[in-house]
Structure 1
Amino acid sequence: MNTKIISESHLKPLIQIAEQKPRSGQRDEVESPYKTEVAEIFQLAVQHQQANRLVEAELLYSQVLEKQPDHPEALHSLGMLAQQMGQPQTAKKWLSASLQVRKDSGKTWFSLGNLHLVQEQFSEAEKAYRQALVLVPNSLPIYNNLGYALQQQGLFDEAVNCYQKALELKPDFIEAEANLGNALHAQGRLSSEQQLYYAKLNNKLAVARKKAGDWKTAIIYYKQAISLQPEKTDAYFKLGMTLHDQGQVDEAQSVFFKALEFKSDWEKAYLTGQIYQIQHQLDKAVSAYSQGLTLLNPHYAEAVRSSNGNQAAVFNLDEHIPPPIQFQEVIIGGHSFPAIPPVSNHEEARPFWSVVIPVLNRPEYFPECLASVLAQWTGPEDMEIVVLDNGSNPPLFEIPHGLGKGIIRYYRFPETVPLQQNWNTAVALSRGQWVHLLHHDDYVLPGFYARLKASLEKSSESVGAAFTGYENIDDNREVVFSQEHGLGEYRGVVKDWVRRIGVSCPLSPPSVVIRRLAYEQLGGYKLDLPYTCDWEFYKRVAVFYDWWYEPGILAHYRQHSNSVTVAETMDGSCGAAHRRAIEMSESYLPVEHCAAITAKSRAFHFNWCLERAAIPMKFGNIEGSFQLIQEALKIDGSSEATRKLFVWLTANELAPIRHQIVSRGIVDFSKNCLT
């Protein structure tokens, strides 16, 4: 299997090959009384095509040809336009007509080769590319694409020579490098280490093409990555999800289950759960996860056997309403926080861990979250799992019931309450020494609880919180961000952590655990502080406790389009939330560091607000952008910050925001300038 480097989405950036000027003796373009008018129409057509207004572009190109039938650029552009519109035969007609007018157009020969390549007419593509090379001898895109056309005809040595020529011209041409590796692999000329390298390269290109919307090429790259490393399960899943998203459900199913051939029985069952979850068949996902957990975790298997026959046949909502909890107040820095009540009945043994999982609707990732915890569950004396459903409609009882088998305690508010109230209640329901607040669309990786417990059991009581490295993944399970905090393999208390967490929040909730005593002494999450209540809480804990770092990526945060984080950016309210968190911590940060931490935090979040202000505007929400700018100036109203704002506002794409500021007259910028 070989990787196609050229797809329709690649054509635009690669056709920018300079035309040769007419050689001596050639006729110049025909002078026409309409030359200026023709040029203007042609440029307008190009603008329409670039803006994807294809019908308008086609009409204008046709007008050009009415006035100048042998206009080579209009003929070429109509060929490219027809290819964009999925009309390959029409595209070939226009490109051929362009070559009749200007046979020495390397650009048009290259475009014709690309057209044949997309249609898998490799011999015809080869001929066109060779013509293009005669006219443009040192073009790396032509060498690369010619190599692919040769490769598809089994002419591997010639293909390798073409790829090597492209890499001589541009050593960091990643597509040519991947194609070279794939051609060598087809000849059996790669070592196992080289296969691993080229598999990663193909996977990287697949991710890039998928993000660019070029699904067809992404699929080819994923398939090549699998060819290089058949046992790599992740590549199967990424390919399967791509096929599934493209509506190729049967092929996706086949690819998904192909991955299971390389796994043990428990892995097959567990991964089948992921497959069904991806396909939104949550009942089957729960069943498969449960089967996998039974084979993987003997503690879970025993709990399942013991609970059979003891589960309630009918779900009664009234039996799962959380008990009333009296939250007292804790005053820190003049601010009031809801105190988490101490654990009652101290004589009863307490587990080391309380994993508390708040949940509200969006069940599509919930099974994997629970399965990732249950895979590491070693018995009730070590871990309790508490799910608090924040009024989901319908209730999400069946997922924890089907997976928990009596292990999980499920509660449900009859109606949705504020997020912070749900979190505080979930923590208050816990009895463990350490609390892990895990959102139901995130999950932990193997070793999370065992490694942290091994360290925290030996740590001083001064340690009130711990964290690990984490990765953000998107809806397609691609890693979009990785955070190891610059600590490498360091394990232990992080020195001066308050001076870092006080400036901004580098943490992600699934990677953080908190000593329950810290909640009891310092209070929980501030009820009237949306979006940044976790950061403010982390700062509060850092003032009074040490923080432990456990090295390695041990948690995944799911970054998707329906998240609260996206909502806060869209409506602009995140700016005010960060400002309030800064103002609040200013009252309790260590005196000797407070001014420096706060100043750095204000400067950081001023820039943070500006970076995000353009996002709502892209979706037509000028009000959201305007709010973020207002909050930026409230966070940092210094003359230096104002100068930055002036410079930032000069960007062309920010004209709507400038007009909004001028029309409202709310911000008098001159007051903030240096006098």
Structure 2
Amino acid sequence: MTTITESLQIASKHYRANDLTKAEQLYRQILEKEPNHPEALYGLGILAQQVGQFQNAEQLLNELLQIQPNSVKAWFSLGNLYQAQGQLPAAVEAYQQAIALKTDSAPLYNNLGYTLQLQSKWEEAVACYQKALELQPNCIEAEVNLGNALHAQGKLSSQQQAQYGALNNELGRNRHQVKDLKTAVAYYRVAIALQPDLLDAHYNLGMALQQQGDFEEAVTSYQKILELYPHNGEIYFKLGKIYQDQNKLPEAISAYQQGLKLTNPHYLKAFVADAETDKHQEVPITPELPQEEVIVRNYKFPKIPAVVASEKKRPFWSVVIPAYKRTDYLLECLASVLAQWTGEEEMEILVMDNASTPPLFDLVNSIGRGIVSYYRNSQNIGLAGNHNTGITLSRGQWIHILHDDDYVLPGFYSQLKESLEDCSDSVGAAFTGFDNIDEKGVFLSQGDIFDWYGEDRGIIQDWLSQIVVTNPLRPSAIVVRRQTYERLGGYCSELSDLNGWEVCKRIATFYDCWYEPKILACYRVDTSLYANKMSNELFLTGNHAVFLRRAIEITESYLPDDLCTEMTANARSYNFEYLLENRVIFPLISGNLTGALRILQEALKIDCSPEAVAKLFAWLTKDEAAPLRNEIATKLLAISEENIPDKIPAELKSPQTAIAL
């Protein structure tokens, strides 16, 4: 049992890591025990404000002030809340209350000044900024706001305008980093007004507007950069992303083409050469491939044949991009790879279209013609089958399977090649750091691999014992030596979304893994539970739990004899709790009791030890488990009803009585 102090520390850690759901859960658990706990009220209030639940945030902060009326941070936060909602007089009053309690706070005077400035009370605002700078001479926010107030009154020289323009841009970046996009945009706009040719401010403004979803204004901002610097290829990539998000594919294609031609001379040469051939291409059909198996200890996996001998030099990289129907992100994914393509002797790129209707051929060819090899399966062969087909058709020494909604960052291939081309044959795979992004490409969090592996590059120590239990890696950040697939086989179609984890466990059993501790890839997360049909099928019906159990059982068949028992026990224990604490809630929320019961059944198949059963019974006492308790009791009564004597009163046969008993 953790103490409230420990829970607060953990909640704060989750909040700083932007894991707001876990932070909220902890704050609420604290308030269940101590409804008036000031730190929990404050933490929950700040969290509610961050996610836009302003009314809830106001209520929580006011509850805190009833308990601690002299809480400076509560008054300060309340002022920020009112200011964000445009309730400026209320914000002024809250800041003044805070200042009365703490007269030496520069941030309080600065925020009060900004609120007064928003009401065009220039002299009062200037006095507040000057007071803030008197208290804290290096307070950049007060310095910038003072300059902006003086500019609004026409009191700045051209030299001072340039100075304050740069300061506004810097402050905008600071707010941008903490996802305060509205304030960041305001600072960027002022920076541009003060210094119209400040390229960095235009770029940052475009980025912030794009993340806000203000696509038209973002396009205007990027086009302004191209007026100033017409050969800026990176801006064309930004425009391509916006047009892609707007489903304006012709415009996106044009922008990505231009960006690639400006930034990659190898691409330009190949693209121009192919355009000059003016050849007609038909949609290529994936050739028939042998379906053989390879046995790894006690289990059979799809065989990956060796590369057929040829005079043609094998490339170092094969990038395999599986795709099916979706066009939302494919151009961005392709462009991220093509930007790093340095010739066919170095890299081949294969797009594996899993029988999309209509085919994705024209879209792929629009920016990849002459470079990308496109294959279309005559029928859908499943995700694992499509992966294996792409690997079989590849010729590279190292294989990177990059899903069509993910992308790589500059340096992914060159950085890994530098580490891998002379590494030991014992290394069968490698991975880099990665960022988690949402559907719009907005940063969510860093992958937690740094918590697992630290920041030292090289061969991972004791990789197997960790990866057997859980998988912190993501496909976009992983590359595998082709010879590894040839020895151990490809992806197992039995495991659906967990086949990548199983492959990692199989590789870890027989090979070392290289770690490159840089953020060089992006993994897209579906942030909506119900947005994806596959998520519904897997999690709401309990199928994910079935695949999880099978992944553990399959791995048990090939783990080293001396480690198998302990490692499998650790995996079973960990994943039992994972299902109980993180997955059964999904079908419960949707009212799918059958799916929830199936998850519990699979959890017990994974781990039916006395400790696990005790944890299950403890979990069933929670409020959110009430529907399941009733369902379990009803089923138990139905099974034994014919054995219950008629003389027992009916009320003793109820589910509630069964639960109590």
**TM-score bin, normalised by smaller chain:** 0.7 to 0.9
SS of match in other structure, 1:630: helix
Q: Distance in 2 between matches of 1:637 and 1:179?
A: 58
Contact 1:237 1:255 in 2 (8 A): yes
**What percent identity do the matched residue pairs reach?**
40
Q: Which residue of 2 is the match for residue 592 of structure 1?
A: 562
Aligned partner letter, 1:310: T
Q: 2:57 aligns with which of 13, 38, 63?
A: 13
Distance change in 2, residues 1:128/1:297 (3 Å): closer
Q: Distance in 2 between matches of 1:472 and 1:548?
A: 21
With normalisation by structure 2, the TM-score equals 0.73
Distance change in 2, residues 1:135/1:328 (3 Å): closer
Q: Distance in 2 between matches of 1:416 and 1:312?
A: 29
C-alpha deviations, 1:121-159, integer Å up to 9, x for none? 85x5578669x8499968999989755431323333454
Contact 2:173 2:184 in 1 (8 A): no
Q: 1:354 aligns with which of 297, 303, 318?
A: 318
Q: Which residue of 2 is the match for residue 656 of structure 1?
A: 627
Q: 1:251 aligns with which of 196, 217, 228?
A: 217
Q: Which residue of 1 is the match for residue 549 of structure 2?
A: 579
Q: 1:616 aligns with which of 587, 594, 611?
A: 587
How many Å apart are 1:380 and its aligned residue? 0.6
Q: Distance in 1 between matches of 2:79 and 2:567?
A: 60
How many Å apart are 1:386 and its aligned residue? 0.6
Please tell me whether residue 202 in structure 1 is matched to residue 166 in structure 2: no
Q: Which residue of 2 is the match for residue 546 of structure 1?
A: 512
Q: Which residue of 2 is the match for residue 46 of structure 1?
A: none
Contact 2:219 2:239 in 1 (8 A): no
Please tell me whether residue 224 in structure 1 is matched to residue 224 in structure 2: no
Q: Distance in 2 between matches of 1:357 and 1:20?
A: 55
Larger Cα-atom Rg: 1
Q: Distance in 2 between matches of 1:336 and 1:599?
A: 23
Q: Which residue of 2 is the match for residue 501 of structure 1?
A: 467
Aligned partner letter, 1:638: S
C-alpha deviations, 1:420-474, integer Å up to 9, x for none? 1111111111011111111011011111111111111111112111111111111
Contact 2:233 2:263 in 1 (8 A): yes
How many Å apart are 1:114 and its aligned residue? 10
Aligned partner letter, 1:219: K
Q: Distance in 2 between matches of 1:358 and 1:298?
A: 26
Q: Which residue of 2 is the match for residue 402 of structure 1?
A: 366
Please tell me whether residue 533 in structure 1 is matched to residue 499 in structure 2: yes
C-alpha deviations, 1:13-37, integer Å up to 9, x for none? 235547999xxxxxxxxxxxxxxxx
* 597-606 or 371-380: bigger deviation: 597-606
C-alpha deviations, 1:205-251, integer Å up to 9, x for none? 536xxxxxxxxxx534443367579726774355323553xxx5543
Q: Distance in 1 between matches of 2:125 and 2:594?
A: 58
Contact 2:286 2:378 in 1 (8 A): no
SS of match in other structure, 2:574: helix
Distance change in 2, residues 1:133/1:472 (3 Å): closer
How many Å apart are 1:253 and its aligned residue? 3.3
Q: 1:269 aligns with which of 221, 236, 251?
A: 236
Q: Distance in 2 between matches of 1:654 and 1:159?
A: 54
Contact 2:458 2:515 in 1 (8 A): yes
Contact 1:468 1:554 in 2 (8 A): yes
When the two structures are aligned, how many residues end up with a matched partner? 550
SS of match in other structure, 1:532: helix
Contact 1:223 1:239 in 2 (8 A): no
How many Å apart are 1:302 and its aligned residue? 1.0
Q: Distance in 1 between matches of 2:166 and 2:389?
A: 51
Distance change in 2, residues 1:493/1:126 (3 Å): closer
SS of match in other structure, 2:417: helix
Q: Which residue of 1 is the match for residue 296 of structure 2?
A: 332
Contact 1:465 1:515 in 2 (8 A): yes
Following superposition of structure 1 onto structure 2, how do residues 276-675 of structure 1 map, counting pairs within 5 Å? 276-310=243-277, 312-313=279-280, 316-317=282-283, 320-483=284-447, 484-485=449-450, 486-560=452-526, 561=528, 562=531, 566-567=535-536, 568-610=538-580, 611-665=582-636
Distance change in 2, residues 1:640/1:403 (3 Å): same
How many Å apart are 1:323 and its aligned residue? 0.7
Structure 2, unaligned runs of 5 or more: 1-48, 67-74, 150-159, 192-197, 641-661
How many Å apart are 1:371 and its aligned residue? 0.6
RMSD (Å) for aligned C-alpha atoms: 4.1
How many Å apart are 1:200 and its aligned residue? 5.1
SS of match in other structure, 1:342: coil
How many Å apart are 1:119 and its aligned residue? 8.4
Q: Distance in 2 between matches of 1:477 and 1:115?
A: 27
Contact 1:442 1:558 in 2 (8 A): yes
Contact 1:199 1:224 in 2 (8 A): yes
Q: Distance in 1 between matches of 2:411 and 2:52?
A: 44
Distance change in 2, residues 1:163/1:413 (3 Å): farther
* 488-497 or 402-411: bigger deviation: 488-497
Aligned partner letter, 1:13: A
Contact 1:572 1:627 in 2 (8 A): yes
How many Å apart are 1:293 and its aligned residue? 0.9
How many Å apart are 1:295 and its aligned residue? 1.4
Aligned partner letter, 2:176: N
